[in-house]
Amino acid sequence: MKIKQLTKDQLIISVDRLTRFKEPEIKYLRVFKDVILNNLIEPKFKKSELDEMDYEEIKSYAEQIINYALPINKDLSINQKLYDYENTVFNIDPKAEILLKNKINYKEILKLISGKIPKNLKFLKTLAYGSKERYCFPIEKIILCEGITEEILLPAFAKICGYDFDKNGIYIISAGGKNQVVKYFYNYANCLKIPIFVLLDNDAEENLAEIRPRLRGFDKIHLLKSGEFEDLLPNSLLIKTLNYTTQNISLAPIEGLETSTSKVEFLEEFFRHRGLHEFKKAEFAQAVKENITGMDDISTEIAEIIEELSHKKTPVHKREKE
């Protein structure tokens, strides 16, 4: 074999991709094939050839390429711990098991990692060296929601309520719309061993009906009582945030919020008529997050959602459209 050595950055990126929350077979195959295509000089394979290659052979090539030029370290305890972890979260079939039971030299690669790193790599370090900190891993429950606002704000609201997502292994995914939530749920319900909490806007009754037959005993759905997640934000918090985001601009008082039927529509109108930049949910959610200070900023329904999430075992479906 003739190998092009992976750089330090390439090694770290590869390990990062291998330890993210994703179906093991998908992520391992993708990383292993990329490494073989880009760093194996001889023999040289085409992608089509790799697609037909036996998993044991793919794993063998990838191991040798990744470990090339790293100091020899026969300690494979991290590999076993990673396998055990993935096996507690995902349903592992025999083909995926072949990829997971590898001899990648994680211990030596970890020595290359420093500075600010993602949670999954922090978790990998805890497997190697031990730590009381959780960093959101191992993941024990996932939240599927429609949009970025929920992804940004739910962890912040939960922390105020005394429930830390990271410490309790809660992983939140914004699917990008109610139809995507259904697709994500179908996929995860098939491959995950852990509970899924689905959060849907009030107009997603048809999607709820699609999900309900596939719910497992520990999964749960929360359909908002009205509107979308932004409609759950207290007016006082929205006003505080608008004053914060426009503090350097002379504006007329904020009017019409109390009578608005849609807070998103109100905010879009507010930004447009005040000559501000375009209203963007992600940016505004970040501003809201910076202005959350206590329980007064949490509405009754948001508190209910956090309470539902905090239960280790949850009933199948607490509430449908009332």
Q: Is the pLDDT of residue 136 over 70?
A: no
How many other CB atoms are found less than 10 A from the CB of residue 313? 8
* 180 lies in the same domain as 303: yes
The more confidently predicted of residues 221 and 133 is 221
Of 83, 105, 129, which residue constitutes the final position of a domain? 129
Give the residue numbers spanning the domain of 253: 230-292
Amino acid 28: pLDDT: 98
Question: How many domains, the chain?
Answer: 3
Shared domain check, 176 and 38 = no
Shared domain for 124 and 250, answered yes or no, is no
Q: Is residue 108 part of a domain?
A: yes
**Residue 317: band (very low, low, confident or very high) from pLDDT cuts 50, 70, 90:** very low
Estimate the crossing angle of helix 300-310 against helix 148-160, to 10 degrees: 80
Least confident of 13-27, 122-136, 190-204, 229-243: 122-136
Decide if 211 is inside a domain. Answer: yes
Q: Give the CA diameter of the chain.
A: 71
Note the pLDDT of residue 314. 39
- Confidence grade of residue 322 (pLDDT, cut at 50, 70, 90): very low
Q: Are residues 110 and 53 in the same domain?
A: yes
The answer to whether the beta carbons of residues 62 and 25 sit under 8 Å apart is no
Task: Please write the tens of the pLDDT for every residue from 243-265.
Answer: 888 876 656 678 889 899 999 99
Residues 208 and 248 in one domain: no
Torsion over CA of 106, 110, 111 and 116, rounded to 10 degrees?
A: 170
8, pLDDT greater than 50: yes
Q: What is the pLDDT of residues 111-134, one digit of tens each?
A: 999 888 998 998 998 888 876 565
Give the rounded percent of residues in the chain with a pLDDT score beyond 90. Answer: 80
Cis before 213 (ω within 30)? no
Residues 109 and 194 in one domain: no
Look up the CATH number of the domain holding residue 182: 3.40.50
Statement to judge: residues 162 and 304 lie in one domain: yes
Q: Residues 211-233: what's their mean pLDDT?
A: 96
Residue 29 lies in a domain: yes
Whether the CB-CB separation of 271 and 279 falls below 8 Å is answered with: yes
Average the pLDDT over 22-47 and give the result.
97
Distance from C-alpha of 241 to C-alpha of 247, rounded to nearest angstrom: 10
Q: What average pLDDT does this structure show over 42-71?
A: 96
DSSP-derived 3-state class of residue 293 = coil
Q: Say yes or no: 70 and 108 in one domain.
A: yes
Q: What pLDDT is recorded for position 15?
A: 96
Q: What pLDDT does 235 receive?
A: 95
Same domain, 241 and 223: no
Whether this model's pTM surpasses 0.85: yes
Q: Give the whole-angstrom CA distance, residue 100 versus residue 126.
A: 19
Do 148 and 174 lie in one domain? The reply is: yes
Residue 297 confidence (pLDDT) above 50: yes
90 pLDDT above the threshold of 90? yes
Residue 275: per-residue pLDDT: 78
In the DSSP assignment, the letter for residue 313 is S
